Structure 1
Amino acid sequence: MHGKIMVYMDSTGRGTVMDNAKIFFDFNGQSWHDKKSMPSVGMLVEFRADGKHITGIRPSKFQEFKEGDFITEQDFFRTAGDEELEDLQNSRRSAYITQLFRTIDFDTMDAIPLSLTIPQAIQKYFSGEILAVEALKVSVDNIKDVPCVLDYFIVKRFLIKAFDTLLFMDNSINQTQFASIRSIMMHLENSYNDMRDKQKLLNIVKIFNETFLSLQCHYQALAATIDQRKNRLASCKHQLKSTQMEHKLESSKPKPDAEKLQKKQERMDELLKEINYFEETLKKLEALRADFYKKNYALFENAFKLSREKLFHKIVTGLNMCATIMDRYIWNIALKSSGVKNSYFTRNNIENSFCVISFAELYLSRLDKSSLNPTDQKLLAYVQKITKEHRKKFLVVTTDLDLLTKIKIQVFTLNPYFIVKYAPKKVNYQSLMRDNNFDMVYLDEKNLWEKTADVILEGKNFDRQGKTKFKLL
């Protein structure tokens, strides 16, 4: 059946479809059968139902109805499925082509009108991928305050790790708030994989013929005219050959019939005239067809490659945005979660915020940097670039672990890539100040091993750049 999505909730994956009789049907995420796109309000769909519950649903091939499509939105709702609607469209197109074939004087035609523009044909071909991109209805404002946009394919495994760890540490978290962004990521990645896998198998000639040329009504009418005239030419040549043989036989008789010879000669002259007409007009029509094909194929090939490249880039950009937004969700929730606070931030050896880059750093810290595989080398370079551009270092000098956790959360709230180190004793303080350049050092005056002024002076002696600030707690 055909219908339109009237209600859809990203958080639950549930929605409602209305058919032509204004009957409503319910569906959920399990019944959605399209890997490259996700449901949205207003989307036209093809579905199967058991009673008022949808058992299978997917986006229709037909999402818009424009002049020249030969079908309307009413036809959409009156047909049982896309196959029936496509047959109706093809039938009406064929009838229109037949009408053009019968009524147009192609001998006077200098150019073939377009029934479908090249951008429309390309949009039709990439309809699934376009739906996947349009599903990401997130404005730039939603990520403008992040330090950087993440590379989805580099951080993907750590994004999954961060998400799973978050849920493990705090089972009270409502996972539905992640449902929409995770669904969008899944559909975008499916589109990405599909476009990537088809790259080596692309046959632009076939795509041009199927998505553009076959839908050009005037071109198809011209092709039919050429075929008809070729058949007529062949028939005329055959008739001429037969008439010539009959003329020759009649003239070879002892007493040839002059009247018959005259009629045969007139018929031969008539056939020669027709043959000359068909040969001359066929040259013109073939040239017209060839020119149309050559000109439009060149334009189509360039536009197709450019459109595909742009769409592929949009999908990659969309995946990067999704990774960044999901990482932002994880980071924000972790900062407010008591479960994460108790099991993550209170550990003395956890210096990083709860975010994707932190999990990537933890993974890299366990590896031998001199024998990394190409994937891990790329990851290391990527993490180093982000930390170099966005990291600031902070030091908390205290033995109060509650105070340490409080400062960590305050610092991590400013930026997920900031790092907070911890010095409970003088030896730790000296070692850290010697090996690092800190932007800020927090001093817990109640728990220092000597006078505050002496601790600050000692710290400044280690500060080679003279940029470290000290703040008393």
Structure 2
Amino acid sequence: MHGKIVQYSHTTGVGTIINASKKLFDFKIASWHDNTKIPEINLLVEFRLEDEKHNVIDIRSSKYQEFDSESIIKERDFWKTNTDEELEKLESNVFDDLIAETYKKTDYAKLTSIPISISINKFIQYHFENEIKIIKSAYKLPIDNYEKLDYRIVNRFIKRTLDSLICVDRRITKDTFSIYLQILGKLQYFITPFYIANQNAKKVYEEGFLSQQLYFNAANRKLINLKDDILKLKSREKSAKSEIHSLQLKLTSAGVKNEQILKERLATINAIHKECKEKTIILTKIKDRVEKLIEIFKESYKKDFINNFDKTKEQIFEHIKNALNITITSLDNKIWKLGMASDPVKNQFLKLQSNYSFCTLAFIQQYIKTLDSSKLNDNDRLLNIYINKYKERNCKRILIVSNRNEFEMKLKFDILTRYKDFIVTQTNKKVEYLIIIANQKFDFVVIDNDMKEDKPIDMIIQGKNTKLNKNTTFILINEE
């Protein structure tokens, strides 16, 4: 039956559907059988119950989600029907009635061209309506001036980062990220091979554009009827011709009876034969005219349609790629902010001694450390190149020098809480500091002014005298 999701939790995978009778039915994610969408509130669905029980055993999104003023069927029709199949049949019947009404009112003997009922641009806009809506939703997500992550490369690590956050801090659930997951799920469907295969311009033109043209379909219906009428006329003409031949034989035979009746019958059949022949000629001319108009219609719009469709499709795919990048970047920012504000994450973070904030970058870096650089596969090599270039463009490197561990860790955590793309290195010994500063370039070096035994000013001078850090900003800091 048809219904609408009125409640759903990504955390529990449990939701509630309401039907036309205002009855409520609970469902579980295990019963969701739709690869094109994920469950979300206000989604119109088609579902099936287990016998007479109220257990939902099959649920999927309906093909019908919105009904505007130009729709052939309305939302009330959705609630009156139980399945999309019924609704499709109703829609088809309504359209058939419009077609029949149109071809009956049209004089095809005088028709010079078939009008277009839906323009190319309008059809393409309708065709990509769902894609455009979800792209616009993605574009509204904030990325806070951070560089967009590349979905193709880092997608597998986003899920790992999110799952880790939810696992470490039980107070944070997937529902917190429902808007991101909904947008991501829809965008991911738009890059599946199944979806892409169905965006063939010629296929969409023939199966979509032409099938929705009212006057074109009315002309096709008229053509079918003309062919049927011509076949019937030819059949009658053939029968009449056969009877004429039979009557003529009887009239020429010796001792013919009822001659007058046979002559009258012959005259009648000759008139019928003549009428059928004349009508056949007239209808054949109209048939040829309609066939020509149909072919002209198909060919006249085909080239423009394919060009406009392919151009729009290319733009849509580019927007989808960009929307995916925006979505995972915004999602990563959300994970980072919640993660760095979480006490359980903070406690684990302090134990791991990570140089990165709690975000996808940290998990990618952690993964790369486990790899043998001499045996990278193509994907890992691409990942390594990407992340190195990303860090070059975006990451600021900070070195904290302090032998007060608690103060050092607090400062590091505060920096990573404020700046997602900062990489923080720590050292508490002057010897280590001198080695690090000579071999690594930093944007900032923060030195504890209360360093025991070592003189911070001397350390700054020594750092400034290195080749890599002569232009680095050095900062002396007090605990307060």
Match of 2:78 in 1: 76
Please give the alpha-carbon distance, in whole angstroms, between the structure 2 residues aligned to 1:16 and 1:115.
40
Task: Say if 1:276 and 1:86 are closer, same or farther in 2 by CA, change over 3 A.
Answer: same
Provide closer, same or farther for how the CA distance between residues 224 and 338 of structure 1 changes in structure 2, counting only shifts above 3 A.
closer
Q: Is 1:227 aligned with 2:224?
A: yes
- String of CA shifts for 1:276-321, please: whole Å, max 9, x gaps: 3233222211111111222333344334434444444444333323
Q: Report whether the alignment pairs 1:469 with 2:473.
A: yes
Map residues 273-422 of structure 1 onto 2, 5 A cutoff. 273-345=278-350, 347=352, 350-422=354-426
Alpha-carbon distance in 2 for matches of 1:202, 1:436: 51
SS at match of 1:109: coil
Tell me the CA shift for residue 399 of structure 1.
1.4
Q: In structure 2, what residue type is equivalent to 1:214?
A: S
Q: Distance in 2 between matches of 1:267 and 1:98?
A: 29
* Aligned counterparts of 1:171 and 1:63: Cα–Cα separation in 2: 35
Cα distance in 2, alignment partners of residues 335 and 66 from structure 1: 45
Q: 198-207 or 310-319, which moves further after superposition?
A: 198-207
Task: Identify if the C-alpha distance between structure 1 residues 98 and 338 changes in structure 2 by more than 3 Å, giving closer, same or farther.
Answer: closer
For residues 339 and 199 of structure 2, the distance between their equivalents in structure 1, rounded to whole angstroms, comes to 45
Describe the SS at the equivalent of 1:325: helix
Structure 1, 328-337 or 306-315: larger mean CA deviation:
306-315
| Residue pair 1:38, 1:184 contacting (<8 A) in 2 also | no
SS at match of 1:212: helix
Which string of whole-angstrom CA distances, capped at 9 and with x for unpartnered residues, describes residues 390-416 of structure 1? 111111111122122122123223422
> Could you tell me how far apart the structure 2 residues matched to 1:381 and 1:210 are?
44
Question: Which amino acid in the other structure matches residue 223 of structure 1?
Answer: N
Of 158-167 and 372-381, more deviation after overlay is shown by 158-167
Question: 2:27·2:55 contact (CA, 8 Å) conserved in 1?
Answer: yes
The worse-fitting range, judged by mean Cα deviation, of 158-167 and 237-246 is 237-246
Contact 1:423-1:429 within 8 A present in 2 as well? yes
- Give me the whole-angstrom Cα distance separating, in 1, the residues matched to 2:40 and 2:132: 13
Gaps spanning 5+ residues in structure 1: where?
none
Deviations 1:108-138 (A, max 9, x none): 222323444546655666677667x37x845
Q: Does 1:155 align with 2:154?
A: yes
Task: Provide, for residues 327-372 of structure 1, a one-character-per-residue CA deviation record: whole Å limited to 9, x for no partner.
Answer: 2122223322333333333555x32222212221232234333432
Secondary structure in 1 aligned to 2:67?
coil
CA change 1:53–1:200 in 2 (3 A) is closer
Q: In the aligned structure 2, how far is the partner of 1:455 from the partner of 1:436?
A: 15
Residue 433 of structure 1 and its aligned partner are, at CA, apart by 1.3
Amino acid at match of 1:384: N
Is the CA contact (8 Å cut-off) linking 1:44 and 1:59 kept in structure 2?
yes
Q: Distance in 2 between matches of 1:284 and 1:32?
A: 51
In structure 2, distance between residues paired with 1:290 and 1:122:
22
User: What does residue 35 of structure 2 align with?
Assistant: 35
Q: For the residues of structure 1 that align with 2:126 and 2:148, how far apart are their CA atoms?
A: 31
Aligned length: 467
Moved more, 44-53 or 335-344: 44-53
How far apart, in 2, do the equivalents of 1:71 and 1:160 lie? 40
Q: How does 1:105-124 map to 2 (within 5 A)?
A: 105-118=107-120
- The offset of 1:53, in angstroms, is 7.2
Preserved CA contact (<8 Å) 2:139 2:326: no
Q: Which moved more, 1:245-254 or 1:453-462?
A: 245-254
Query: Residue 23 of structure 1: CA displacement?
Result: 4.6
Quote how far apart the aligned CAs of 1:244 are.
5.9
1:444 corresponding residue in structure 2: 448
Whichever residue aligns with residue 146 of structure 2, its letter is: P
Q: Distance in 1 between matches of 2:44 and 2:413?
A: 47
Deviation at 1:169, TM superposition (A): 4.3
d(CA) in 2 for partners of 1:400, 1:63? 61
Cα distance between partner residues in 1 of 2:459 and 2:225: 100
**Alpha-carbon separation, structure 2, partners of 1:262 and 1:31:** 74
Q: Is the 8 A contact 1:37 1:188 kept in 2?
A: no
Structure 2: segments with no counterpart, 5+ residues: none
Q: Which AA in structure 1 matches 2:209?
A: F
Residues 182, 431 of structure 1: alpha-carbon distance in 2 compared, 3 angstrom cutoff? same
Q: Secondary structure at the match of 1:446?
A: coil
C-alpha distance in 2, partners of 1:73/1:175? Answer: 31
| Whole-angstrom CA distance in 1 between matches of 2:5 and 2:371 | 50
Describe how 1:246-265 pairs up with structure 2 within 5 A.
246=244, 250=248, 253=252
Offset at residue 225 of structure 1 (A): 2.0
Q: Greater shift after overlay, 404-413 or 17-26?
A: 17-26
Q: Which deviations, in whole Å up to 9, do the C-alpha atoms of 1:146-204 show, x marking residues without a partner?
A: 421112221122223323443454455445423443354344324432xx245457665
Matched, 1:185 2:173: no
Preserved CA contact (<8 Å) 2:165 2:339 = yes
Determine the C-alpha separation between the residues in 1 that align with 2:347 and 2:233. Answer: 95
**Does structure 1 conserve the Cα–Cα contact (< 8 Å) formed by 2:9 and 2:15?**
yes
Picking from 96, 99, 115, the partner of 2:98 is 96
Q: Deviations over 1:12-50 (max 9, x none)?
A: 766655444445555565554433224555443333467
Post-superposition offset of 1:388? 0.8
Secondary structure of the 1:441 match is strand
Q: How has the CA–CA distance of structure 1 residues 130 and 324 changed in structure 2, closer, same or farther, with 3 Å as cutoff?
A: same
Identity %: 31
| Paired residue secondary structure (1:192) | coil
The verdict on how the C-alpha distance between 1:189 and 1:345 changes in structure 2, with shifts beyond 3 A counting, is: same
| Structure-2 change in CA distance of 1:152 and 1:267 (3 Å) | same
Work out the CA distance in 1 between the residues paired with 2:190 and 2:311.
Answer: 17
User: Secondary structure in 1 aligned to 2:406?
Assistant: helix
Determine if the alignment matches structure 1 residue 216 to structure 2 residue 206.
no
Taking a change above 3 Å as real, the CA distance of residues 104 and 142 of structure 1, as seen in their structure-2 partners, is same
Whole-angstrom distance in 2 between the partners of 1:22 and 1:92: 27
Aligned-pair distance for 1:383? 0.5
